Structure formats: structure tokens, C-alpha cells
Amino acid sequence: MKYKKINNKSNLGIEIYDFKIENHCSLKYVNEIRNLWFENSILIFKNLILDHNQFERFGLLFGEFGDDPYIESMKNHPNIIEVKRDANEKAPPFGGSWHSDWSFQENPPSATLLHSKIIPPIGGETLFLNTQKAYDDLSTSMKNKINNLKVIHSAARPYADDGFYALEKDKDRSMKIKPSKKAKDIFLHPLVRTHPETNRKSLFINPVYTIAIDGFHDDESKLLLNELFNHMEKETYIYKHLWEPNMLVMWDNRSVNHCAQGGYEGHKRLLHRITLAGERPFN
């Protein structure tokens, strides 16, 4: 097993080569991979062919399966979701706005694993944002202002019975979304989150699931959140990932946000996704 740091301003990502699931699943290798993951937030395994059972087995090396609400999973594999878009589909790409997966849960996922099956010849990149580096670069006065704030997370905007997916005009979406009133539930999380393994702090907010700052008036909340979002979305914090077939990408939802890109109209795209359970965020 060999690996190489990706050279980019965001300081995200490491590529792992020659990984064989039958050879590199011992405690020694798993601990090495886990440490690389904590340090770089994104692991990229190239040329890794996995069937569903192997994909599940790999995920369980790093934690228990998480709960994936509002999206229909694969038959006989309840912990795998198909992230897909048909060639002639008019619905916008799934996950096309900045977010941290399922941050609206009481215990949001620690990791997301995405394994590519069919990759279009153009477009379809995934952007990743380093929320730890974005926090580090804030002024001392801004850090003092936000360090002890709580924010309200909810899945209402995309997944409620009156949310985006329930009301979208194009009904040809190939992914099976399951809107629900339960998506309007809320959880309070710290705006500044401490990583349980590295103790590094990050901005645990995103434009999809973070709906307000607890205790702030609406205008004041929107103003501060927008200021932080604009800071986070600077080019210096972003890594643009280019997909290849049979590529496994595993990222840390506690230290990155991500969003899917389009630009592959007329081409099919298919990836399989697993989320791993996480812990209640703390500051």
C-alpha cells in the first residue's frame, strides 16, 4: 500500500494506491489508514473494485453503519444508497449545495464513503471544503464571538413534505427520495465543533441544514451565518475532486463540507454510498 498527498491550497486529500481489501485489512493497516484520514480528512483509493459485500466490509473497518433517512437504499443492502442520475434526467444533481452529510441528526455521521461505478466523461466533480482551515483563519475577535454559540440544524429545507424534493417541478429523478414531516425536527449543535480524535476546531455549519443561530434574531442570525459562509467558500479552502471509475472516496463530515457538480447532461452517473455513525458534536 502506497500513498501520496494531494497538492492543493485547501490541504485536503491523500491518494492511496495498491490497496487490496484481502491484504490490507489488518489492525496495523486500518490504524495507518485511520491516522491518514484524520490528518487529511479525505482518503482516495484508486482502482479499487468492490462488490456490495466488500464495500460494506470496508466501511465496517472504520465504524458502525449510520442511519440514512429520506433516501431509499438498495434492496438487500439497507446500508448502501445509490447516488445516480440517468442520462436524460432533468432533475438537478443530488447534493448540489454545500453541506455536511446529515448534520441535522442528533449524532451526525462521522464518515461518508462513495464508490464510483459509472463516471461520465465530463463534469460530475465533487467539491470539498476544509472547515478546520476556515476556522483557523478567522480573526481572534470572530473566534471569540462564535466559539460558544449554538446553531439549529434541520432537514426541513430539502426533505420536509413541503421541502425542495417534495415540490421540485421535474419528477423524473432516478433517486428515490422520501420526504417526511419528520424532516422538520431540529437539533442544536455547536457552531464551532471540536474533532473527537484530533481536538482540532472547525466551523460546523452549512447552508443546507443550518437554519439559524440559537438565541439570535432572524436578521442577525442570517447576517452572521452569511458572513461565515462567504468566508468558508473562498477558493483557498476548496479541493475539486475529479472522479474515475472504481474509485473509493472516504471523507470526514466533522472537518469538511462538500457539494456535487453537474455538467454531464446526456451521460449516466452512478456511485454507491455508505455513511458511518458518529457522535454528538461538542465544542
Does residue 282 form part of some domain?
no
Closest of 98, 38, 62 to residue 252, by C-alpha: 38
Amino acid at 98: W
List the pLDDT tens digit at each of the 283 positions of the chain. 899 999 999 999 999 998 988 877 788 899 999 999 999 999 999 999 999 999 999 999 999 999 999 999 999 999 999 999 999 998 999 999 999 999 999 999 999 999 999 999 999 999 999 999 999 999 999 999 999 999 999 999 999 999 999 998 766 899 999 999 999 999 999 999 999 999 999 999 999 999 999 999 999 999 999 999 999 999 999 999 999 999 999 999 999 999 999 999 999 999 999 999 999 999 9
> Based on the structure, what is the number of domains in the chain?
1
Does residue 116 form part of some domain?
yes
Please report where in the chains the cell 487529511 appears, as a residue.
40
The Cα 197–Cα 37 span in angstroms is 11
Does residue 161 form part of some domain?
yes
CB 19 within 8 A of CB 1: yes
As given in the structure block, the three cell numbers for residue 85 are 442520475
Does residue 139 form part of some domain?
yes
Does residue 128 form part of some domain?
yes
DSSP 22-44: TTS-SHHHHHHHHHHHHHHSEEE
Does residue 256 form part of some domain?
yes
Other beta carbons within 10 angstroms of residue 154's beta carbon come to 21
Domain of 109, in residue numbers: 2-276
Three-state DSSP state, 58: helix
Residue 230's CATH number: 3.60.130.10
Three-state DSSP state, 112: strand
Give the pLDDT of residue 279: 98
Does residue 283 form part of some domain?
no
Give the pLDDT of residue 170: 65
Q: How far is CA 227 from CA 192, 236, 237, in A?
A: 15, 16, 15
Does residue 223 form part of some domain?
yes
